[in-house]
Amino acid sequence: MQLILASGSPRRKELLGLFGIPFVVRAADIDETMDPEKAPFDEVARVSRTKAMAVPRQQEDVVIAADTIVVCQGKVLGKPADPAEAVKMLTLLSGRDHQVMTGCTVLRGEKSETFTEVTDLHFRPLSQKEIEKYVATGEPMDKAGAYGIQGGAALFCERMVGDYYNVMGLPVCRLGQTLRSVAPEVMEGVL
């Protein structure tokens, strides 16, 4: 049996490493396009399920897949395509409440469990200069919503309600509970 992380994200690798159990990385190569007519909460869960199913595995292997989006004023913000889009996203988030949603799937054989974790955040008003300076660091370019809460964007967040690790891309607490449900032997020896 192998524990497989269906993601190439360095943040997800780091967070899964907190469990102290060995795992391999097999990034899923799928179309992550979401249906704008459907609820983001449901779509991010669907994408995580699709990622989990796309990973090559043996019947006894356990797969963890996740997808993270930012939702602000009804708009879904994925990873920015370029610096101009990153500036647009951060301008939208400036002075506003938004949500980070991570769909997460744990799959083993025919058994799977999918959930969506939601964290509420509020960014203080940001100046155009701050936004442009942050985008120039390159940090926003591979992150949903064009920011990394564990990096420079920590200076932007006034309030957060929910799982901090969810904002980084992997809801660690709920994932641990789900692993105990779907594949309890994986969690033997873990707190």
Q: What pLDDT score does 152 carry? A: 95
Is pTM beyond 0.85 here?
yes
User: What are the sequence ranges of the domains in the chain?
Assistant: 3-187
Question: CA torsion angle for 146, 150, 153, 156 (degrees, to 10)?
Answer: 130
Q: What pLDDT score does 146 carry? A: 97
Q: Which amino acid is at 50?
A: T
**Residues catalogued as catalytic:** 67
Tens of pLDDT along the chain (191 residues) come to: 899 999 999 999 999 999 999 999 999 889 888 998 999 999 999 999 999 999 999 999 999 999 999 999 999 999 999 999 999 999 999 999 999 999 999 999 989 999 999 999 999 999 999 999 999 999 999 999 999 999 999 999 999 999 999 999 999 999 999 999 999 999 987 87
Q: What pLDDT score does 188 carry? A: 87
Q: Which CATH architecture has domain 3-187?
A: Alpha-Beta Complex (3.90)
Q: What pLDDT score does 61 carry? A: 95
Distance in angstroms (rounded) separating the CA atoms of residues 128 and 156:
13
Q: What pLDDT score does 29 carry? A: 86
Q: What pLDDT score does 33 carry? A: 87
CA distances from 74 to 26, 37, 48 (A): 32, 11, 20
